Amino acid sequence: MGVRRHLYLQIYAAFVGIIVLSVVAAGGVAQLLFDGRRLPEPLAPVAELVASQIDATDPKVSTAATAAHLRMRLTLWDGGLHPLGWSDALHPPPDPAAGAVQWLPWEHGPNAAVRLADGRWLALGYRGSFDPRHFAVGLLVLVTVTSLLTWPVARRITRRLERLRSAVDRWGAGELGARAHVHGRDEVAELARGFNQAADRVQALLDAQRRLLASASHELRSPLARVRMAVEILGGDEPEKAAIVADAARDVEELDALVGDLLLASRLQARPELQAREEVDLVAIAAEEGARVGAVVSGSCPPVVGDARMVRRAVRNLLENAVRYGGGASIEVVLAPTKGVGSVVEVRDRGAGVSAADAERIFEPFFRVAGHHEGRDGGVGLGLSLVRDIVRHHGGEVRHAPREGGGSRFIVDLPPEAP
């Protein structure tokens, strides 16, 4: 696989390179700005020339005058390093053992000391001055160079992390086919590869579970048909026998409905795309399904494009849920258009309602609110789950909201056309 390019090494090398290039750029700017003020080399002839301008009879005054004329800092010592004349402040004395020409400590600029031919010492240096314009230009160049070099490196590193995060977010939102793009051989690439492998395993397990559920549900249909036929054959005129047969027939119908719900849930999960697309008249569906349970239907909305059979199933499940948990009170179905020319279908009941903690969980498969019994009157907890699956297949969303005065509101938002 070759040498692994660790991410921390890439970042380290990149920023070291940036710092080096920034210092080089700053040095180049400084050289351009201050090139005219460098001390000429070699220093010894320059020092002799400057010393010749100093009057030996009055070295103190002459040294100050010469320094002002040359715009330099000067200090003149005798052979014993006793100061004879100076400008501004005295330079630190040189070390005779360090040589005839030596640099002195930096004080507001470069300073050097030279032993003259007559044994005296002369220190030369720049006059201390600070030009804010030069500093601003140098700082601006340094910031600009650093920013320009850092930006593409930072974006290259973080863009891959952003893509990985986007893939994880899409996968977490239910798009199980989302995968991260693998590029390179560093830690980010290994993380993306590990995520893809984990996502593949999870999707394979879910696919196997769905196939098992669909196959089991399909296989249950045959024994159910035989049981139904046997129940019909056993029917008789005796009241007790007839009641037992009727109860068994209802149990078979309930089990058959459950198998049908499981098969529909498996198909919805296995095939995200709709199998049929047609104009769906929500007003007609709400009126027909509402008449079955005695619900009051009001309002209107434009038709939507989708699978009419699935939409009808969703409306029917909401109405049956309202009948089951509505406490026998009247049920209302309200239709209205949305701003985006979509439609809203709202089913209202006067039941016990749903707590805020369970408002989302009631749409999970087989979830039941505490206190609601299972069986012929309580359902099995698949109805609302199917409603959400159907609505989301049409690009919409369903939610629960409390009803003023008690009860529940189930609100379905559908776009004009399914994706």
- Residue 53 CB partners (closer than 8 Å, separation 6+): 62, 66, 69
Q: What is the rounded average pLDDT of the residues 164-193?
A: 84
Inform me whether the pLDDT recorded for 412 exceeds 80.
Answer: yes
Say yes or no to pLDDT of 36 above 50. no
C-alpha–C-alpha distance, residues 48 and 117, integer Å: 8
pLDDT over 70 at 343, yes or no? yes
Per-residue pLDDT, 23: 75
**Would you say residue 78 has pLDDT above 90?**
yes
CA–CA gap between residue 399 and residue 344 (Å, rounded) = 11
Q: Specify the CATH number of the domain 39-126.
A: 3.30.450
Is the CB of residue 383 less than 8 Å from the CB of residue 321? yes
Rounded distance, CA 393 to CA 92, Å?
Answer: 86
Q: pLDDT-based confidence at 418, cuts 50/70/90?
A: confident
Q: What is the pLDDT of residue 341?
A: 72
**Tokens 């749409």, located at residue:** 363
What is the C-alpha to C-alpha distance for residues 295 and 347, in angstroms, rounded to an integer? 9
Q: Could you tell me the pLDDT band of residue 39, with boundaries at 50, 70 and 90?
A: very low
User: Contact at 8 Å (CB) between 125 and 102?
Assistant: no
Which pTM was predicted? 0.49
Residue 70: which H helix or E strand, with range?
Answer: helix 59-70
Plot region of 327 (φ>0 → left; ψ -120 to 50 → alpha; else → beta): left
Check residue 265 and give its pLDDT.
65
Higher pLDDT, 9 or 406: 406
User: Does residue 264 carry a pLDDT above 90?
Assistant: no
**Residue range(s) occupied by CATH 3.30.565.10 in the chain:** 278-414
Report the range of poorest mean pLDDT among 25-34, 75-84, 175-184, 291-300: 25-34
Give yes or no for a contact between 96 and 89, defined as CB atoms under 8 angstroms apart.
Answer: no
Is pLDDT above 50 for 207?
yes
CATH number of 188-270: 1.10.287.130
Per-residue pLDDT, 318: 92
pLDDT at 407 over 60: yes
What stretch(es) of the chain map to CATH 1.10.287.130?
A: 188-270
Average pLDDT in the chain: 79
Query: How many residues belong to the chain?
Result: 419
Q: What is the mean pLDDT of residues 120-133?
A: 76
| CB 401, CB 378: distance < 8 Å | no
The whole-number average pLDDT for the span 121-137 is 75
Domain 278-414 has CATH 3.30.565.10: yes
Ranges in the chain annotated CATH 3.30.450:
39-126
β-strand partners of 296? 332
Q: For residue 93, is pLDDT > 70? A: yes
- pLDDT in the model for residue 2: 45
